[in-house]
Every structure is written in structure tokens, then in C-alpha cells.
Amino acid sequence: MNIRNKLLIQFSLFVITLLGFFSLGILLLSSSYRKTDYYTRLQDKANTTAQLLLNVAEVDNELLKIIDKNTQALYQERIFVFNDKDDLLYYNPPEAIPINNKLLLNQVRKEKNVRFNDKEREVLGLLYHYKGADYVIIISAFDKYGLSKITNLKIILLVGFISCVLATLILGYIFAGRALAPISKVISQVKNISVTNLNQRVDEGNKKDEIAQLAITFNQMLQRLEDGFILQREFVSNAAHELRTPFTVLLTEVDYTLMQERDREYYKEVLTSLSREIKKLSKLSNGLLDLARISFDKSTFNQKTIRIDELIVETCTAIMTANSDYNIKLNFDALPENEKQLNIFGNELLLSIAFTNIIDNACKFSSFKTVQIDLLHENTDLIIRFSDNGIGIPEEDLQKIFQPFYRGKNSHFISGYGIGLALTLKIINLHNGHIQVKSVLNQGSEFNVILPN
């Protein structure tokens, strides 16, 4: 069931219940008022008749009947007056069949006031006390006007009820449709968006209500998707370009060598050069693979508690083994007293790759191939600071160096592919951390890796 129908049914049920109770309440109250009012009138009439009959000596039965007939009588009124010996003293109208129901008379004597319905007639039995004697008056009549008013009220309420329900259904259908129209619009616009036209956006309407908020959020998501697609496209074309160049160099070198017979020394030289190129190629392809792999969810990586100082020492040892000309200075003087504050939860291998990239850059881009590493602890964060006195990073490059394949303007004479920092940032972000960079051109750079403890 769609939202429009659901809303309509819920709202209509609510209105029907409310109106039903309201109408029923009015009907019950009106019926009860009519009854009370009518019994009061019956009682007044009974009292007046008894007074005239018993108190006023001049009024005899016949005169009373005449008075009764000429006063404003109740519709189809019948009145009977009995003395305490159950003798019928008076009844009116003359054609009324006298009743002598001993059970009823005794009940009236006992309860003083008895009310009941005899078919459509309202009957009141009343005990009237006069000069030490008890008289029973039985009066009954048909509340023609009261009952017809109630019947009219019933018709009015029923017609009102049906009209209101119909109006609610029609208006509810229209308003629900109107309220949900923007959603239908968004749905049809979204249906038209695919990979080929990710630059399209849905209409944000008045930019204020919930549906506009939904459209805005959806547009923001589209923007992120589009950015992601553009990045991915750039990444693939950059990767293809970076891979093609070394392959061409290799192929050219091999073809050139094979053009004629060479001496042993020449072959050795060529193979050494090929090995160097292949190593670079292998580094590049590994970096590319890591970058693609780390784009996935972090839940796919094994994570455990790692002592950050131990991980840094292990990473530095591995770097020094591979690059004997690198000079790494470690400073762990500001370690926290509580060893637990050195623990972080993450993936050892990935973090090691991230640190290696920063250390490698620091050494690669400084003439003395030296890097200083400080381990600091601030509140709940661990800060690993990598400082060098190298070539520095131009101001305009600072924001861009974390983009895949971006290389600083001053770094082209040093080998590299521009994927190290992109990979590093992804790894640190995966560990809920971030990287801050400060750099002064020709003086040096400082990379602060901040990881939550």
C-alpha cells in the first residue's frame, strides 16, 4: 500500500471514530435530557391533578375532567388516582381503560416514584401524601414532540456524519496527494539519474521542508558519488599512464639491445638497468594495488591492539635495512607514563606502510636524507611527528599532495609516482586519524600523524 492510501485510511479512521463518538454522545445526551424533562412534566401534571382533586373542595371529578381537557394536556395523557385501599378515585380521559394493577400500586407505595416505559408511552407512578392518607397517581403519556425531535436529530447526525466522512475522504485524498507530490517528483527525477548523467540534480523545492531536506541530502550524496567517479576515472587514467611509460622504456631498451650481438659487459649493464626499472615498476604496481585495496571497507582488515612505539621502531629498522644511506632519529622522550596510552587499535601492516611512505619522502626530499621522529601524547591522541630539513613543499601544493598521482612542482627531479601520500592518508583515515602538514620552502617539512589512542 502506498503512503498516500495509508495516510488517507489512517486519517479517515481517526475522523470516523471521533465523529462517531461525538454524534453518539450528542444522541445519548439529548435522549436522556428529553426523558428527564418529560418525566418532570408528567410529575408536575400528576401533582397539579392531585392538588385540585384533593385540596380544592369545589372541584369534583367532572369539573376536573373539564379542567384537564382544557388545560394544555400532554399528548395521549392518561391519569389514574387511587386511594390507599386501591379504589380508583379519578381517571381521565373518560375513554381510558381503568387499570387496577395491585403489583404496580404496591411498588409505587414502596418506592414513591416509579418510572418505566409501556411500549412507546412514558409511565410515572407517584405517591401523593395528603392529610395522613397516601394516594397513588399513575400518569402516562406519549412524548410525541420530544421523540420526533430525537428522530430528527438522528437524521441530522447521520447525514452530517456521512457528509463529513465523504468530505474527509475526498479532501484527504487531495491533500495527501498534494503533500506527497514533491516526493513523486523526486522519485521520477531520481529514476532518470544513472552513471552517465551523475551531474544531474533533483529539484530542491523550497529548501525548507522535510522533502526539500531529503532532496538536498540526495543531491549531496550525488555530489559525493560524482566526485568519487571523477577521482576513480582520473585514477585509472593516471595509473594506465604511469604503467605504460616504464613498460615502453623497458621494451625499447630490450629491442635496442637485441638489434645486434653485444658483448658480455653490455648485456650486464642492460640487465642491471632493466632490474632497476622492474623494481620501480613493482613498487608502483604494489602501491596501486594497496591504494585500490584500501579504498574498501575497514572491516575487511584485521585489527588488533598495537604498541605504537614498537611499530615505529620496527618500521624504521626495516627502512634502514633497505636504505643504508637514510638517517632516522627517534625521540621517545615525551612518552606517557601509562603504557596503555601508547596502544592503538588498528592494522599493523597498513600503519607500517603509511609511516614508511612519510619517512621515505622525508629522506628522499632532503639532501642529508635525515628525518626526525617524535612521539607525543596529547589528551586521548597519539601524535607522531616526522620533521625534515628538505626541499619543503610550495604553499599551493600543500592541499594537493594527498591526491593520487599528484607530485609537488619542486619534486620532479626526484623519482616517485605521487601515490605514497594518497595511500598514507587513506590508511590514517581508516584508523580514524588525520594528518597535518607544515612546510617552509627550502627549509623543511613537518608531517603530524594524529591517531586516537
Q: By CB under 6 A, name the binding residues for ligand ADP.
A: 357, 361-362, 365, 388, 390-393, 401, 407-408, 411, 416-422, 445
Q: By three-state DSSP, how is residue 143 classified? A: coil
Question: Toward ligand ADP, which CB reaches closer, 391 or 430?
Answer: 391
Please, which contacts does 283-288 make with residues 24 or more away whose CB atoms are closer than 8 Å? 283/417, 284/242, 284/243, 284/246, 284/417, 284/419, 285/243, 287/417, 287/419, 287/420, 287/423, 288/239, 288/242, 288/243, 288/419
Cell output for 36: 428527564
Q: Using the minimum distance from each CB to ligand ADP, give the nearer residue, 257 or 448.
A: 448
Q: How far is the CB of 272 from ligand ADP (least distance, A)?
A: 23
Q: Which residue, judged by CB position, is nearest to ligand ADP in the bound state?
A: 408
Nearer to ligand ADP (CB atom), residue 142 or residue 447: 447
Report d(CA 15, CA 18) in Å as an integer: 5
Name which of 346 and 420 has its Cβ closer to ligand ADP.
420
- State the amino acid at position 295 in one-letter form: S
Q: 352 or 411, CB closer to ligand ADP?
A: 411
Grid coordinates in use for 295?
Answer: 579504498
Between 328 and 401, name the residue whose CB sits nearer to ligand ADP.
401
Strand order from edge to edge, sheet including 327-331: 327-331, 370-378, 381-388, 444-452, 434-440
Shortest approach of ligand ADP to residue 420 CB, angstroms? Answer: 3
CB of 448 to ligand ADP, least distance (A): 12
Q: How far is the CB of 442 from ligand ADP (least distance, A)?
A: 10
Burial of 392 (0-12, 13-18, 19+ CB in 10 A): buried
Q: Are 358 and 352 in contact (CB under 8 A)?
A: no
Q: Which residue has the cell 495509508?
A: 6
Q: Are 43 and 126 in contact (CB under 8 A)?
A: yes
Shortest Cβ 419–ligand ADP spacing (Å): 6
Smallest gap from residue 433 Cβ to ligand ADP (A):
17
